[in-house]
Every structure is written in C-alpha cells, then in structure tokens.
C-alpha cells in the first residue's frame, strides 16, 4: 500500500476521535464557531494529519518528531474538552467519552514513539 499510515491502528483510532469531536462540537454555541469549536477540531485533525505526514518521512527520527506533535495535539484536545465542560458546552459524559478515546490514541502514539526510538541508530 502506498499510504502506509492507513495501516496503523492509531491512525484509525485518531479518525474515530476526530469524528467524535466533530459530532460533539456541532452542538457548541454559534458564538464559538471561530473559537473553541475551531480550535478543538483543528487539534483533533492535527493528530491524524501528523501521523500521515510523518509516516512518509525519510527516517524513523523524523517520523517520531511528527508523532510527538500528534501527542501534543491529543493533549490539546483533552484541555479544550475540559474548557468546553467548564463552560457547559458539553456534559461530563461527553467529556469523558472524548478523554477515553484520547487515552487510547495517546497510548498508541507513545508505543509507536518508543518503537521508532528503538529503531534509531
């Protein structure tokens, strides 16, 4: 397969997280369209996009740099979800659902990062 990132389970799970974020943010107030809604969506998108972009880099070291950026984006999704909860844009159940999916993704990214580091000379 030309696009190897499509074979990674973490990429599949990051897409699930993106879909959940989009579903939940559809209910955010209109006034947040260019604020928290956009930021939360960008952070979620960044996870999958960094996996994809990094997977085609010439070295494991370069790929790992993109995995680290993806991990930062997962943390951003969690922080933005906490802010959405604090402002009553989502309920605790929705926040927990996002965090649960984010935990799966960040663990997979962490494991991939460790594997990439072990392959480096």
Catalogue all structural domains in the chain, each as residue range(s) with its CATH number: 11-119 (1.20.1440.60)
Phi, psi of 29 (to 5 degrees): -60, 150
Tokens of 96: 């927990």
What is the pLDDT at residue 117?
85
Q: Average of pLDDT values for 20-38? A: 95
- Please return the burial class of 17, using the count of CB atoms within 10 Å of its CB with bins 0-12, 13-18 and 19+: buried
How much is the average pLDDT of 4-29?
96
Of 54 and 120, which is predicted with more confidence? 54
Output phi, psi for 86, to 5 deg: -60, -30
In this prediction, what percent of the chain has a pLDDT beyond 90?
88
Q: What percent of the chain lies above the pLDDT cut of 70?
A: 98
């Amino acid at each position: 397969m030309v696009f190897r990132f499509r074979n990674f389970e973490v990429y599949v799970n990051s897409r699930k997280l993106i879909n959940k974020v989009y579903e939940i943010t559809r209910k955010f107030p209109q006034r947040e369209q260019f604020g928290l809604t956009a930021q939360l969506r960008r952070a979620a998108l960044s996870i999958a996009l960094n996996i994809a972009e990094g997977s085609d880099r010439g070295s494991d070291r370069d790929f790992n740099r993109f995995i680290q950026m993806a991990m930062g984006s997962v943390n951003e999704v969690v922080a933005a979800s906490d802010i959405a909860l604090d402002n009553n844009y989502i309920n605790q159940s929705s926040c927990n659902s996002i965090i649960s999916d984010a935990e799966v993704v960040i663990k997979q990214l962490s494991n991939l990062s460790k594997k990439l580091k072990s392959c480096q000379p």
